[in-house]
Structure 1
């Protein structure tokens, strides 16, 4: 599929897809006319990259992680190094702290909403 179709199917801009390719996160072939051609599995790859970005990881870290992740055609092609596993545990702990902070913020907002609407919190 061409870059426009991949962008439409994933909701990711063509510019971002080009960036992913520059960073080694996505691979395309080129037509004789120089257009990018992506395999069907690129849709899953782009979605996975988006999920990792949403988790707060940067492109260099994502490039390290992707070969260690299970793809639709089987297991990972590379095992994560102990150092990478340690870094990923640190990232997971950071995400857990963010989740805890968000839950506390939601609880505060719930209290304000209840107070503002004249209800008393249980």
Structure 2
């Protein structure tokens, strides 16, 4: 990598600071092919400025429940545009994720009802269950 292209690149620490994401997480995303890094002459990773948007978008998708494997399968538009909403290619994946989350919520609510009932039974019916 020449001196000129290195100046336009971000070191991993700068990318971490710009995104609020740990260096370790950025390395992990890079190792999973979600970011494109180049190696400087000293062996350190260097990232293009677009990596800031990519890392933020990866974090957004993870927060929505997607795995890195799923994110890797998404079209490039999902990583290159922060807050990308219009990529129709992943509409099905979003629907499946939402359906799975709704099933998990329903199962958790059932477990909560059962546990509350058990607490009421063991404490006596005249007391409110703990919050």
| 2:70 match: secondary structure | helix
- Structure 2 residue aligned with 1:93: 99
Number of equivalences: 93
Q: Residue 68 of structure 2: which of 56, 59, 63 is its match? A: 59
Quote the RMSD (CA, aligned, Å). 2.7
Structure 1 residues 2, 86: closer, same or farther in 2, change over 3 A? same
* Unaligned segments of structure 1, at least 5 residues: 73-77, 102-122
TM-score relative to the length of structure 2: 0.60
The structure that has the greater radius of gyration is 2
TM-score relative to the length of structure 1: 0.64
Aligned pairs (5 A) from 1:27-106? 27-69=36-78, 71-72=80-81, 80=89, 85-95=91-101, 97=102
* Unaligned segments of structure 2, at least 5 residues: 1-9, 82-86, 107-131
